[in-house]
């Protein structure tokens, strides 16, 4: 059962978020990929294998892992402006793992951890690169006129291997992280649970396909999307010993979905109108 979760659940959810991103835009994809589509199964497996007390500690530590994930988002957003996707991933993973190693030594109450995630999300949203192609002030009218006269650029077709490659890459990364974290205790397991597996896959494909601007547009959805992720980890940490594994995870998932839908609604409602 746990092997099925590792091999199928996360890859299917990554593919679904990628398809949604194609339909509704990269920022929506960023919000969806910020769901606990990888950490959720890892924490569930942890509770089933080691008991609710172990799982509660892991879920509390997972809140600190979200801070590392936000660092990954910022570093990848800036590294992608100068590096190709493999090098940008290496640099961003190194920053994330260094932060994980430091945060795994901390013991923070769940409510304090959730507050820390909210503060880090606010900072990450402001630390991401801005639009790198501003329109010059002196010839803005000329540029707009010329752009209006040009036909719209044709949409690039997606290669047949795009979604299968995302699924395979996600499955490989899930197996690596879960095997590495199996024997290191609840604190380190929890901090590693939100390791940017799905985010890495989607961000790398966005950078390779759409360049740094496309990658940043996708990454902009992650900080807001992590609000629901933090709610999920907080509820599991507080409730799994009281309600049991399935009761706590079911309630946490329901509340997380409501939070993510509210985030998507806010993005759709307040997205700036095209000029």
Note the pTM of the prediction, 2 decimals: 0.77
Report whether 216 contacts 25 (CB < 8 A): no
- Residue whose pair of structure tokens reads 């996360």 in the numeric block: 10
76 CB-near residues (< 8 Å, 6+ apart): 88, 89, 91, 92, 203, 207, 215, 219
Q: Residue 138: inside a domain, yes or no?
A: no
Cβ neighbours of 128 (radius 10 Å):
17
User: Phi first, then psi: what are they for 193, rounded to 5°?
Assistant: -55, -40
- Residue whose pair of structure tokens reads 């509820």 in the numeric block: 235
Per-residue pLDDT of the chain (275 residues), as tens digits, is 666 766 777 778 777 777 776 676 666 666 676 678 778 878 888 888 888 999 899 999 999 999 999 999 999 999 999 999 999 999 999 999 999 999 988 888 999 999 999 999 999 999 999 855 443 444 444 434 433 443 433 445 566 677 787 788 777 877 777 677 667 888 888 898 888 877 887 888 889 888 899 889 889 888 887 888 899 999 999 999 999 989 999 999 898 888 777 766 776 666 555 44
Q: Residue 263: inside a domain, yes or no?
A: yes
**Mind listing the pLDDT tens digit for each residue in 232-244?**
999 999 999 999 9
Q: Residue 150: inside a domain, yes or no?
A: no
Q: Residue 140: inside a domain, yes or no?
A: no
136 CB-near residues (< 8 Å, 6+ apart): 143
Angle separating helix axes 26-33 and 245-270, nearest 10 degrees = 160
Structure tokens at 210: 């759409």
**Tell me, what's the pLDDT at 69?**
95
**Mind listing the pLDDT tens digit for each residue in 183-200?**
788 888 889 888 887 788
**Tell me, what's the pLDDT at 78?**
95
53 is in which domain, residue-wise?
Answer: 2-130+160-270
Structure tokens at 8: 């199928």
Number of domains in the chain: 1
**Tell me, what's the pLDDT at 118?**
93
Q: Residue 136: inside a domain, yes or no?
A: no
Nearest to 175 by CA among 2, 57, 12: 2
Q: Residue 166: inside a domain, yes or no?
A: yes
Report whether 139 contacts 87 (CB < 8 A): no
Q: Residue 232: inside a domain, yes or no?
A: yes
């Amino acid at each position: 059962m746990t092997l099925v979760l590792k091999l199928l659940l996360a890859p299917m959810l990554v593919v679904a978020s990628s398809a949604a991103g194609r339909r509704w835009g990269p920022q929506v994809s960023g919000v969806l990929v910020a769901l606990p589509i990888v950490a959720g199964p890892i924490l569930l497996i942890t509770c089933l294998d080691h008991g609710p007390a172990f799982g509660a500690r892991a879920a509390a530590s997972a809140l600190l892992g979200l801070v590392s994930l936000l660092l990954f988002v910022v570093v990848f957003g800036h590294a992608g402006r100068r590096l190709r996707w493999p090098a940008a991933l290496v640099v961003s993973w190194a920053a994330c793992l260094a932060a994980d190693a430091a945060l795994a030594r901390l013991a923070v109450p769940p409510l304090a951890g959730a507050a820390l995630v909210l503060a880090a999300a606010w900072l990450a949203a402001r630390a991401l690169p801005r639009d790198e192609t501003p329109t010059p002030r002196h010839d803005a009218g000329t540029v707009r006129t010329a752009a209006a006269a040009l036909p719209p650029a044709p949409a690039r077709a997606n290669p047949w291997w795009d979604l299968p490659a995302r699924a395979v890459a996600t499955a490989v990364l899930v197996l690596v992280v879960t095997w590495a974290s199996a024997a290191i205790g609840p604190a380190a397991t929890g901090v590693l649970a939100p390791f940017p597996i799905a985010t890495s896959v989607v961000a790398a494909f966005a950078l390779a396909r759409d360049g740094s601007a496309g990658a940043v547009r996708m990454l902009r959805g992650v900080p807001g999307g992590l609000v629901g992720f933090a709610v999920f980890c907080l509820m599991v940490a507080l409730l799994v010993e009281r309600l049991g594994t399935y009761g706590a995870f079911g309630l946490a998932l329901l509340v997380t979905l409501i939070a993510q839908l509210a985030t998507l609604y806010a993005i759709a409602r307040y997205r700036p109108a095209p000029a």
